[in-house]
Amino acid sequence: MENIKYQFLQLQNKVCVITGAASIRSIGYGTAELFAAHGAKLVILDLVMNEQIANDLTKHLETQIGKKTEIICLQCDVRSTTACDDAIQKAVAHFGTIDCLVNCAGIVKSEGMLSINEQDYDLIMDVNLKGTFNICKSVLKVFAEKQAGVIVNLASLAGQRGGGLVGGSHYAASKGGVISLTRSIAREFAPMNIRANVICPAMIETPMLDGLSEEQLNNVVVGIPLRRVGKTAELAGACLFLASDLSGFVTGATIDVNGGIHIH
């Protein structure tokens, strides 16, 4: 049997693109911090990215991990195919290649189906589903040429069970689409040594929970077998596993990070 080589720095010198990481409370930032600690070179993409945010994010990240890291931060609206292509081209021009994409960009709105207007529906779908499709397509052009690469997309428990916690039916539908899209990528690109997996988080301590009152949050926590919400670092750990060689024979998988609230 072929020996598997283990190393502490699971992503040493790997170039990893992470979307939706401008906020230090986000899953994207938590993933970036953990990846940098494991030796990754980072490309951070976010709609709100600017020079000040980039400087603050880099300083905070390097303080947290206690070392310098190779990082570029770029403004990118994932709803635009042109913007995604431009950002990926800049990343390749800077680092020479891309090894991994972790797509954390997303938005949520909580409202009943009869209250969802066309504008809100389009916005949710454009960011969560079309945006995921766009950035995956841009990165897959690079991966297909090099015949290697890893994609980790973030969906949601809402996409598995049909909402019910945070987010309306349009949010659930968009995240269900991300699950199906990721499986389709995995099937089509596996012969090129390209892996794609999806993570379905629930109740992670991010700004998405800010809209819940303490009472609402406590009511949800009671239904979580682990009796707490998750931390961004715990979700980042799942991303690290899927991005690294530790998951080399895993593709098309859906990984639950939900504290046991949806065991199926």
C-alpha distances out from residue 260 to 198, 217, 242, 250, Å: 17, 16, 20, 21
Rg, the chain, Cα only: 18
Cβ(142)–Cβ(97) under 8 Å?
A: yes
Q: Which residues pair with 72 in a beta bridge?
A: 43
Kindly state the tokens that stand for 92: 């390749």
- β-bridge pairing 254-257 and 100-103: unpaired
Q: Which of left, alpha, beta for 133 (phi over 0: left; psi -120 to 50: alpha)?
A: alpha
Interhelix angle 27-37/51-65, nearest 10 degrees:
50
Residues assigned a catalytic role: 171
List C-alpha distances in Å: 235 to 115, 188, 238, 242: 32, 26, 5, 11
